[in-house]
Amino acid sequence: MAALSSLHHISTTLSLLGLTKPSLLAPPFRRPFRGLPPITSSSLEFNITFAPPSPKPKPPPNLKSDGVLDSDSPQNGQFFIPWIVRGEDGNLKLQAHPPDHFLKALAEAKTQKPKKKVDKAAKKKKDISAVGNAGIEPPAPPPKLSKAARRFYNEHFREPPQRLSKVLAAAGVASRRGSEELIFNGKVTVNGTVCNAPQTRVDPGKDIIYVNGNRLPKKLPPKVYLALNKPKGYICSSGEKEFRSILDLFEDYLKAWDKINPGSPKPRLFTVGRLDVATTGLIIVTNDGDFAQKLSHPSSNLTKEYIATIDGEVRKRHLIAISEGTEIEGVLCVPDSVELLPTQPDLSRPRIRIVVHEGRNHEVRELVKNAGLEIHSLKRVRIGGFRLPADLGLGKHIELKQSDLRTMGWKS
């Protein structure tokens, strides 16, 4: 279009000059225009040039061959964070990658110091030898806590000092009565002094207690609450050798204690109340003395339900005689309820449901015997609001939940 416009302009100029012959416009123009010769048809020639083409857009900035950034403009929508380095000529320049000396220093730098291997056994042996050969462990390092944090912990979480006999019983040394005998016999020392008073208040976490020369662990075992379906032929105490103790049923449980509770001493288990050797059913096993005393004390008024299977026929007069109660150890014991259960096809003997709250020794058996009946078998199925699970086999136990303990009136 530009060429046609130029030709049209030349044609118009020649027309005004009266030079309109076609030969004058025919290309090519072999000789450039020099000066102003006479205007003749044989010697007139023009030097026609065209304007240069419009500049093309510059390509996007890129890196040079030496890695120097041409511009800080974005490339392909990405912004480069340049490195400002000084070149060999002493001038500053922008560079897209870190300088070589920086990468080399970063690769050779050691980010972590090598940890020294500490032999714990050798360290402990060294500490013990430092305090002497008396077998006394070195004092523990002070906790890295602020005073406010330690005060808050002591006020809200740390248990207050307890009776020495109770601490020994909770640690599994002996029963409460057996612990008192050890204290009276001078077998217990507290902070290096022989203690003969079971009511002495001690803190196992702070006080150093020895029993028969053995150090009592600072950490007491956690509270354990178990429900056992007692089989026939087991007694609730561990002193008599002619009968098997129900504590023998927990041997596997205590053997697996260290795996389940690492770092915690084994609990000393005992029963809450008792069942005679011929009675089966629900009995609670724990290491919490306060819990056991609460449940077994008459002031708790905790009801207990038994199922008595009778040899022979049960009549109405028998039920009336049981409900009227009987005298046991000089105290009249009256059951809360007595009910003859419906007969079942797989059970030929009649069954009586008896609920009591006194909990005296052989109370249910004496009530049935005083009514003129003979018991074939006796089973306890409920204590308070907790009922023996129907799928719990003889000799098996389950751990009680907090909700189960609340049904028996215990609030930990």
Question: What DSSP letter does each residue of 34-56 carry, written as one string?
Answer: -S-----TTT-------PPPPPP
User: With bands split at pLDDT 50, 70 and 90, how would you rate the model's confidence at 353?
Assistant: very high
pTM of the complete model beyond 0.75:
no
Residue 395 above 90 pLDDT? yes
pLDDT over 70, % of the chain: 69
What CATH number is given for 162-215 in this structure?
3.10.290.10
Q: Supply the angle between the helices 316-324 and 363-370 in degrees, to the nearest 10.
A: 130
Q: Is 276 a catalytic residue?
A: yes
Residue 391 above 90 pLDDT? yes
Q: Write down the domain spans for the chain.
A: 162-215, 225-296+392-408, 303-383
Check residue 11 and give its pLDDT: 56
Alpha-carbon distance of 305 to 38, in angstroms, equals: 145
pLDDT tens for 215-250 read 888 888 888 999 999 999 999 877 666 778 999 999
CA distances for 383 relative to 138, 154, 255, 272, 283, angstroms: 48, 36, 28, 11, 8
Of 70, 276, 290, 311, which residue is the catalytic one? 276
Residue 352 above 80 pLDDT? yes
Please check whether the two domains, 225-296+392-408 and 303-383, share a CATH topology: yes
Alpha-carbon distance of 140 to 407, in angstroms, equals: 42
Alpha-carbon distance of 173 to 168, in angstroms, equals: 5
Residue 24 above 50 pLDDT? no
Please provide the DSSP assignment of 225-237 as one string.
EEEEEEPTTEES-
User: Cα–chain-centroid distance for residue 36?
Assistant: 107
Fold annotation for 303-383: Alpha-Beta Plaits (3.30.70)
User: With bands split at pLDDT 50, 70 and 90, how would you rate the model's confidence at 71?
Assistant: very low
Segment 296-308 shows an average pLDDT of 88
pLDDT tens for 74-112 read 445 555 567 787 877 878 887 777 777 777 777 777 666
Check residue 22 and give its pLDDT: 46
Check residue 404 and give its pLDDT: 93
Check residue 72 and give its pLDDT: 45
Segment 121-144 shows an average pLDDT of 58
Check residue 137 and give its pLDDT: 55
User: With bands split at pLDDT 50, 70 and 90, how would you rate the model's confidence at 393?
Assistant: very high
User: With bands split at pLDDT 50, 70 and 90, how would you rate the model's confidence at 135?
Assistant: low
Fold annotation for 225-296+392-408: Alpha-Beta Plaits (3.30.70)
